[in-house]
Structure 1
Amino acid sequence: MKLQASRTNSLNLPVMHHFLIILFIFLTSLNLLGLFPYVFSATSHLILTLSFGLPLWLMLIISSIAAAPSSTAAGLLPAGAPSWLNPFLVIIETISTGVQPGTLSFRLAANMSAGHIVMTLLSIYLMVTFWLSSWKAFGLLLVIQVFYFMFEAGIAMVQAYIFCLLLSLYSDAHPLT
């Protein structure tokens, strides 16, 4: 994560790479804490992921408009495009920029929720086989549950990395003065 954060080209945001590292550690911690039973899984809820994604994206947009308004407006129009296509390209680029907080937030919440649902279903099956005294099935499901927990721990770290990676890529579009 440190290497990716140091590649961030936003000279107008000099502390962005430090912020991305701290955000990665925080999101990884929240994701991993959510894997334990009876612990609230914060990153599975859209309100929390939107409260991270939307302000961070808005910070980048407002900062880029304040730093270089003409460069920000020019970034909505790809170079070399035919003039008759310009209005459509501006609309498409505006929509593309507008969905960025959604890609940050919905992806994190959906992926973490899906993993938690599968873990819950596995644990329900595990308890049913325990109470039915089906020891072979219980042993098999216990092994599957342990390996799936380790898999979800890896996914939790990957999801935090992808959130920070996307934020880093969005900050790379920040115009330089």
Structure 2
Amino acid sequence: MNRSGLLQYSLWPDTALLDAVQTGNEGAFEEVYKRYCYRLFTMAYRKLKSREVAEELVQDLFAVLWAKRTEGPIQNLEAYLFTALRYRIINYVKSQRVRDGYALYCRIAQSDATHNTEEQLAQQDLNTALKAGLDRLPEKSREVFRLSRLEHRTVPEISGRLHLSEKAIEYHITKSLKLLRGYLQDFLLVTWPLLIWITKI
């Protein structure tokens, strides 16, 4: 298109340009783009603070305008363009919030899963260490500990069941706790609540 043609379109009012665009006139469409592109971009950039997103929304608006140029009458070209861009901005912000919310949900879920996995592994390690520690106790001390801390029997009950004096039962409990503390010292930081339960008399 020659320069005189471009200058001619620049003198046309919006209504004439719009009529020409609706008939497929590319020169008229180019003039509409030149006339409103920067103003639309400025509006989008002011709202979104992103040059890339602002350009994308404006380009999409003009692409749709051309693709649907024969669909439905537009009464006011300027009002149509700015209103259409405003809706695009709103929809973009909404979709961005959804994406951000979903990303946050994924991070939290992943963090919880990692945390739960670490707790499960720590618990498994503790169970293994506790079992190994119990197996290392002398047989009589192991039996007394099992009845006292795992079956929650009282000292008199254990005494009667094993035919040992109550002082002997207390001795075995004290001895078992002392040995287990040594066996489990590597797990103290992750198992202190359980150790409190174990050592509670």
The answer to whether the superposition gives a TM-score over 0.5 is no
| TM-score, normalised via structure 1 length | 0.28
TM-score of the pair, normalised by structure 2: 0.26
Greater helix fraction, Structure 1 or Structure 2: 2
In terms of Rg, which structure is larger? Answer: 2
